[in-house]
Structure formats: C-alpha cells, structure tokens
A = this chain, B = another copy of it.
Amino acid sequence: MADKVLIYSRFPKTMMARFAERFELLDTAGKPAHEVFPADELRGIRAMLTAGGTPLGAEAMDLFPNLGAIICYGTGYDGVDLKAAAARNIAVGHSPGANAASVADIAMTLMLAATRRLLVADHYVRSGDWAASKQSPMMRPQAGMPGRRIGVYGMGEIGRKIALRCAAFESEVGYFSRTRYDLPYRYFSSLEALADWCSVLMIAVRAGADTQHVVSADILRRLGADGYVVNISRGSVIDEKALVAALADKTIAGAGLDVFETEPHAPDALTALPNVVFAPHIGGHTLESHVAMQNCVLGNLTAFFEGKPLPYAVKSS
C-alpha cells in the first residue's frame, strides 16, 4: 500500500501527477483538511506537502498527531512555524535553489519591463497611437541598464543569480544582506544605505517575521523619483500601503511585483496604477523549475518514509 501524503495547499493537479505515481495523495485543494477528510484518516497522516507561504502553525500541526514531515514545494517556508515543528519532532523540507534561475529571471523580466515601460509601449503600438503619431509622455527616454545602479536585497541563490544577470547588463550592482560575502559587488551594511545608493531595488531576501514591512515608506523615498522596486520574495517584505502611496504620488517611478501581501488578492488601488508591472506569483513557474522542485519533493518524501534524514531539509529546522 502506498504511503499517504496530505496535500495541504492548493496545487494544480498537473503539478501533483508525478507524486501520485508514488504516493496516495489526500488532496485538500486548499480547504481545511477536516472538512475534506474524516478525522481518523487525518490521524494517520505522517507527511504533508504544502506551499511555503501557506500559514502552518502549532495549532494546525496538532491536528495531525502522527505528522513527521512537512515538505514545502519551492524554496520558501515562511508560513511554517519552525519552532513548533521542531518541538513536535517534525522535519521540514523544501526545494533549495531548484527555482532560483526561474525566479531570478522573472525579477529581470519585471525590472526590464518596468524600467523600459513595456506595457505602455505595447499599448502604444496596439492602440494605433504610434501610427497616429500621438504624443506619449510615458514613452520619454528613461535611464537604461548601463545607466543604473541595481541594489540587491538578499544574497542567497536567487540574489546571486539576479546580481550576475544585472552585471551582464553592464549595470553597477550593490547588495545588502546580513552577511558580507566574497563577491564582486559593492556591499552596503544597511538597507537604508543600499536604497540611498541604488535606483532599482531588487528584493530577494528570505522572508520571515524579521523582514515584515522592512521596505517601508522611508526606504522607498530613498530610491528617489527615478527609483523602481521589484519584489519576487514575499509580499510581506514591502509595506504595500506605503508602496501604493509612493507609486501614486511619484515618490518612485515604478514597480514590478510577482508577490503580494494577501495572495491571490492585489489591492485595487495597486492594480489601477499604470507604472507597475504585475505577475501572479509565477517566479518559479517554468517547466524545468517545476521538474527540479518535484525532484526535491520526491527526494524528501522517499527519504522520510524510508526513515532517513531529509536530503533537502530546511537548515534551521
């Protein structure tokens, strides 16, 4: 009999197909597990698959007395209470780096589209305004990549890949992270100093309680009127209300956002703005990145059911 795995978050069925070949999946489709499955079935659950951003605290863990492994699909695990998991002897696994290239690429896509005003450009051609030689103030020349200083906040695998790509675009690259690394980019010892220096802030920090709203009205103001912020980390890192205000009153020039405070909801005041480029949290959403993430999940689940340590364990857990 195949081992049972509870699917705790909402995932498309196609993403789960490879797991279904090896395990019996109890799919909640994102609904509370007790509404979908009988209590005695849930009591037997030893492993679950979740999305890293889905809240999963002590109370939720206690609904599964036999739970031994929480496996996150993707790099993030900010929704998981690691202390509560450790106290219950629950191992936490994820897919470190499996989607780093894909996420770094969406960061670059959003940055380039925002700074080169691609949505405005596309509309200018499609609408016939270009053919009619209509003026378009939004199409005035902007600074290009060689004319920009890119500030990377967070220097994990994704931050490094963003920095490498930006360097290939002939931009100056600086970064702030808790640790200073031996990397050929200028290091800043605070987010404030980085924001003062750069005109594009790329948020690639691992999100958690300590990064809640650290990109504040003050940080945005430091980017300046030619400044852009790109977020591919978690929505919680930016004070979303302050961001809407800064974009609306031109404190900064624009933004590119793949993540939001309350996904899948993005506030109307934000989505109405013309100077933002949006993506629906598709950073890790490429064919090869899904394969790589699934390989990590399979590796973690297989090891767990064989009684071995998780090969892709969350380090601090």
Contacts and interface: CB of A to CB of B under 8 A. Distances in A.
Contact of A141 (B116, B169, B290): B290
B282 A121 contact: yes
A136 to B, nearest CB: 8
A102 interface: yes
Interface stretch (A41-49, A124-132, A175-183, A227-235): A124-132
A26 B220 CA distance: 45
B141 A280 contact: no
B143 A266 contact: no
A271 B126 CA distance: 5
A126 B287 contact: no
**Contact residues on A (Cβ < 8 Å of other chain), bracket:** 35 or more
Query: Copies per complex?
Result: 2
Interface stretch (A59-67, A79-87, A104-112, A206-214): A104-112
A286 interface: yes
Contacts of A145: 101, 105
Contacts of A277: 118, 122
A170 interface: yes
A14 B125 CA distance: 22
A55 interface: no
Interface of A: 101-102, 105-106, 108-110, 112-113, 116, 118-119, 121-122, 124-126, 128, 130-131, 133, 139, 141-147, 164-165, 167-170, 264-266, 271, 277-280, 282, 285-290
Q: Sort A-B residue pairs by CB-CB distance and give the 7 closest, nearest first.
A: A144-B286, A168-B168, A125-B278, A109-B112, A147-B288, A121-B279, A130-B280
